[in-house]
A and B are shown apart, each in its own frame.
Chain A
Amino acid sequence: MHTSTLIIVLLGLMSLAYYLGRKRSLNLVSGRVRDLHSLPSYYGLHTALWCGIPAILLLVVWISFEGSVVTSLVVDSLPQETQNLPSERLNLVLNDIRNLATGDIVSTTVDENMQQAADHYARLQSISHMAMFVAALSLAILAGFIAHRSISRQQRARNRVEKAVNFFLLSSSTLAIFTTIGIVLSVLFESLRFFQQIPVTDFIFGLEWSPQTAIRADQVGSSGVFGAIPLFAGTFLITLIAMVVAVPIGLLSAIYMAEYAGRHFRSLAKPVLEVLAGIPTVVYGFFAALTVAPFFRDMGASLGLGVSSESALAAGVVMGIMIIPFISSLSDDVINAVPQAMRDGSYGLGATRSETIRQVIIPAALPGIVGGVLLAVSRAIGETMIVVMAAGLSANLTANPLEAVTTVTVQIVTLLVGDQEFDSAKTLAAFALALVLFVITLALNMIALYIVRKYREQYE
């Protein structure tokens, strides 16, 4: 039997426990729910939780230790000379044994010892599975039975169930936090390995980016210079262009939607605008690369400007268009959240609509708008696909939007695409870039939250 079968059986047992617990509580008071401390369903839930949780915990512990215990038993049974192999070689052998036991392809020829070990492995596995099955099921039945017996008129089943719910909620929220911490730590440790090879100052203040490192000593054209400034400059240039496009258009369309548009126009235009947000970025990417970038290049040519066919301008403008719905929908929400009383107060004094918007509504909604814009900035900094396709890969340090630039995220992609060795400076540089990028977006988000919190309560 498989573990999933066991879980289904456990769920069945829990339903049974719920039914029995509920029934017992009702029987205790012969149907008069008023005489119970909690509602009958809480007694049912209490019994079901006792039936399920200990068994599931046992299952988790068992599965997480099963592998290592079984492996060490198998290792003990191997011939002495195999046990004395260095750990990487031993791992290879163990891998073969596992593959043999499950019927996968094996990398070496199978000898007597291997076959024996594989059989041993399979046997141990099945014993462990059976034991787990028996242990989990008996624990479930035992705990459920005890909980069922303990039901009494005064038992505070509701409080206990609430406590369990509380714990579930807590563990869900900590899961997200721990995931974040895990990602940060993994990026951090890889970055530290990178900084052991390349000094931090060279990375942060270096003006040249050319990550091709030589694999063989006689290779040419592989300088391996890791100065991140051109990448961050490119990122900020493109983000700036995107914001210059997105903030005014997004904000003005939000103002129109919230304050001027009739109901019909609004009900039509708002979903259409939000469709923009639903277009995959890769579609924006080829729109930028195939339509917008050539358009800018031709236009530049007719004006006598040299615009490269992959330009920061094209990528930035298309990214700005992508972000418009983001800003307009967030600003629309905050503008609508400004109380009607503010508008009434202003109209009541004879202010026109545009005066009211400029002098009352926008100031009152400003914290929310700033927060939305900063979130959009984080989004623009993290955007990859459009830039890969439309802005090119060459790490130019330039403030000229008509030239090709590259961004941090694009470089991370190119560094990690294809076959890589995971201890070269070239690959590890991706983690260092990710770390710096993470710090920057985190700082932006914190500033956004701070601004929003500081000014949030102004009206009320």
Chain B
Amino acid sequence: MDEVINRNSTIAPELKTGSGSEVGMRVLKESQTSGTVGDIYVDDPRMTCRNVNVYYGDKQAIFDIDLDIAKNQVISMIGPSGCGKSTFLRCLNRMNDTIDICKVTGQIKMEGQDIYDGGLDVVPLRASVGMVFQKPNPFPKSIYDNIGYGPRIHGLNDDKDHLDEIVETSLKKAGLWEEVKDRLDQPGTGLSGGQQQRLCIARAIAVSPEVILMDEPCSALDPIATAKIEELIDELRENYTIAIVTHSMQQAARVSQRTAYFHLGKLIEVGETDQIFTAPRHRLTEDYITGRFG
């Protein structure tokens, strides 16, 4: 499996021959620059990414990615390890800024505003694009203070009652309220792994973001905790846009409406989740989801 994926040139021959007319129609909507197969555009995007390149020092980690992220939808990003999906995810709320040698070029817009524009402050951006990490990382503080942390730094806690309310609704939305309502003053690190991860989701919700980025949120959890988180993701879709990176293709199939397949820093194919898993159009995607490599 040593295919070089050049833009535009080698992609076309690799397209699987489907019913001609449908493919033809889709090709018209495909990106003109990146060589990604499938429909990168959506009608009602929350975020739009164009020509995104990421470099770690001299090494390029991500090549020319174009992708729209639709409102109130779950988009999952799959691909083999080191394919750049987490790096791409971290571009969406500028978490890569914390890495000194990391450089991002291209354009990522949210509601028409370029988030990499020099004038934009990263603080409100991260408040509206929250993030949940691979390993649950509650602060070594009480459960209450974990949730209250975000609202406090953004000045949303006008008074104690309001903060209490935020804490309660966030925990309820994350499905954790019933389990912890009697011990809000106990350290968040004392919860089980699954509870900690839901606490982290509640913590992200507490600053009322519009987008929630999840970087393999279930990889450190057991199947029961995973099921709970997946259920939660499905519920959250109603109010939030969610982008999730996952190694589990079953998980991607269960929770997401759109799926993007990454390979060696390139976005190979993107489309409706059903289509990607039942009728992938690019050979690399097919090989990956059928388990031939990855």
Interfacial residues, chain A to chain B (CB-CB below 8 A):
262-263, 339, 341-352, 355, 359-360, 363-364, 458-460
The reply to whether B135 and A349 contact each other, CB–CB distance below 8 Å, is no
State which of A345, A360, A364, A459 has its C-beta within 8 Å of the C-beta of B133: A345
In the bound complex, do residue A459 and residue B140 qualify as a contact, i.e. CB atoms below 8 Å apart?
Answer: yes
A262 / chain B contacts, CB cutoff of 8 Å: 100
Please count how many residues in chain B sit with their CB below 8 Å of the partner chain's CB atoms. Answer: 30
**B100 and A359 within 8 A (CB):** no
User: Are B153 and A341 within 8 A (Cβ)?
Assistant: no
0/1 string, B120-159, CB within 8 A of A gives 1:
0011111100111101011111000000011001100000
**CB of B250 closer than 8 Å to a CB of A:** no
Contact B203 A460 (CB under 8 A): no
Q: Is the CB of A355 within 8 A of B153?
A: yes
If A344-B137, A348-B131, A364-B140 touch, does A359 touch B126 (CB 8 Å cutoff)?
no
Q: Is the interface of A mostly helix, strand, loop or mixed?
A: helix
Quick check: A344 and B133 within 8 Å, CB to CB?
yes
The 9 closest A-B pairs by CB, nearest first: A350-B126, A348-B131, A341-B137, A458-B140, A350-B127, A349-B150, A345-B137, A459-B140, A350-B123
A346 and B139 contact, CB distance less than 8 A: yes
- CB nearest neighbor in B for A338: B140
Question: Whole-angstrom distance from the CB of A456 to the nearest CB of chain B?
Answer: 11
- Asked if B80 is at the interface (CB within 8 A of a chain A CB), the reply is no
User: Residues of B contacting A348 with CB < 8 Å?
Assistant: 93, 95, 126, 130-133, 204
With A and B bound together, what is the CA distance between A359 and B123 in angstroms? 16
Contact residues in A for B187 (Cβ distance below 8 Å): 458
- Which residue on chain B has the smallest CB distance to residue A460? B189
How many angstroms from the CA of A101 to the CA of B203 in the assembled complex?
86
* Nearest B residue (CB) for A457: B189
Q: Cβ of A341: which chain B residues have Cβ within 8 Å of it?
A: 133, 135, 137
Cβ–Cβ < 8 Å partners of B153 in chain A: 349-352, 355, 359
The answer to whether B98 has its CB under 8 Å from any CB of chain A is yes
Given contacts A344-B98, A345-B200, contact A350 B137 (CB under 8 A): no
Cβ-based interface call for B70 (8 A)? no
Q: Shortest Cβ distance from B36 into chain A, in angstroms? A: 27
23 A-B pairs in the complex with CB atoms less than 8 angstroms apart: A262-B100, A341-B133, A341-B137, A342-B139, A342-B140, A344-B98, A345-B137, A346-B149, A347-B95, A347-B98, A347-B126, A348-B130, A349-B149, A349-B204, A350-B123, A350-B125, A350-B150, A351-B149, A351-B153, A363-B140, A364-B139, A458-B140, A459-B140
Q: How far, in angstroms, from A364 to B187 measured CA to CA in the complex? A: 12
Nearest residue, chain B, Cβ from A262:
B100
Q: Quote the shortest CB–CB distance from A338 to chain B (angstroms).
A: 9
Within 8 A of A (CB), among B80-138: 93, 95, 98, 100, 122-127, 130-133, 135, 137-138
Chain A residue at smallest Cβ distance from B122 = A350
Assess the A359–B133 pair: CB atoms within 8 A. no
The verdict on B69 contacting chain A, using a C-beta distance below 8 Å, is no
Q: How far, in Å, is B167 (CB) from chain A's closest CB?
A: 14
A65 vs B286: C-alpha distance in the bound complex, in angstroms?
85
Q: Which of A344, A350, A458 contacts B207 (CB 8 A)?
A: A350
B203 contacts across to A, CB distance below 8 A:
345, 349
Is A342 a contact of B137 with CB atoms below 8 Å? yes
Query: Is B141 a contact partner of A363 (Cβ separation < 8 A)?
Result: yes
Who on chain A is nearest to B151 by CB? A349
Most-contacted residue by chain B among A262, A343, A347, A458 (CB, 10 A): A347
CA separation between A458 and B123, bound complex, in Å? 27
Q: Give every chain B residue within 8 A of A339 (Cβ-Cβ).
A: 137
User: Of A345, A360, A459, which is in contact with the most chain B CB atoms at under 10 Å from its CB?
Assistant: A345
Contacts of B150 in A (CB 8 A): 349-351
Hey, which chain B residues are within 8 Å of A344, CB to CB?
A: 95, 98, 131, 133, 137
